[in-house]
Amino acid sequence: MTAVPLPVRRLPHGADLPLPAYATEGAAGFDLLAAVAEPHTLAPGKQALIPTGLAFAIPAGYEGQVRPRSGLAAKHGITVLNAPGTIDADYRGEVQVILINHGDLPFTVERGMRIAQFLLAPVTRADLTPVDSLDDTARGAGGFGSTGLASA
């Protein structure tokens, strides 16, 4: 595994929170913490923009991906609304997480709570080439369930 330097700036409202860390040796992402000033309760069906108190200088050729935490999703129905959220390499503002409550009960986000995962991923840019037609495949233009529900 290759470590890529990732400069991080703590913002004043997150200065007392620990820096993100990988929870295990094999973890693909590190956890982002909530830098809320007061507990914030998400009612069922509601979303909120939760600050992390962090800004990153993502290297050129990479993106930051903000993804849900599986435990929050499985136990409480809490997920990241635009998952995965993309943080572009030229963005220098605060990383914030759009959480949504898909559960049946209100959920309270507390200061320092682990709310999402952040992955640093390489980016490949497409070189769009206009053509008059595309090659044929067995699937063709079939989509949105065209392959059915049952396994073969």
Task: Answer yes or no: is 104 a known binding residue.
Answer: no
d(CA 117, CA 48): 17
Query: Is residue 152 over pLDDT 80?
Result: no
pLDDT for residue 13: 98
pLDDT tens per residue across span 80-104? 999 999 999 999 999 999 999 999 9
User: Would you say 45 is a known binding-site residue?
Assistant: no
Model confidence, pTM: 0.89
Identify the pLDDT of residue 2: 83
Three-state DSSP state, 13: helix
100 is in an annotated binding site: no
Angle value at C-alpha 108, between 106 and 109, nearest 5 degrees: 140
Per the annotation, does 2 bind a ligand? Answer: no
When pLDDT is cut at 50, 70 and 90, the band that residue 141 belongs to is confident
Q: Which CATH superfamily is domain 8-14+26-122 in?
A: Deoxyuridine triphosphatase (dUTPase) (2.70.40.10)
- Separation of alpha carbons 52 and 13, rounded Å: 9
Determine if residue 115 is labeled as part of a ligand binding site.
no
Buried b (16+ CB within 10 A) or exposed e, 99-108: bbbebeeebe
What integer pLDDT is reported at residue 32 of this predicted model? 98
Sequence spans of domains, the chain: 8-14+26-122
Sheet holding 94-101, edge to edge: 8-10, 47-56, 94-101, 78-80
70-81 mean pLDDT: 97
Q: What is the pLDDT of residues 6-26, one digit of tens each?
A: 999 999 999 999 999 999 999
Q: Is 87 annotated as a binding residue?
A: yes
Q: What is the pLDDT of residue 64?
A: 98
The Cα–Cα gap between 97 and 7 comes to: 19
Alpha-carbon separation of residue 89 from 33, 63, 71 (angstroms): 21, 6, 28
* pLDDT recorded at residue 147: 75
Tell me if 86 is assigned to a ligand binding site: yes
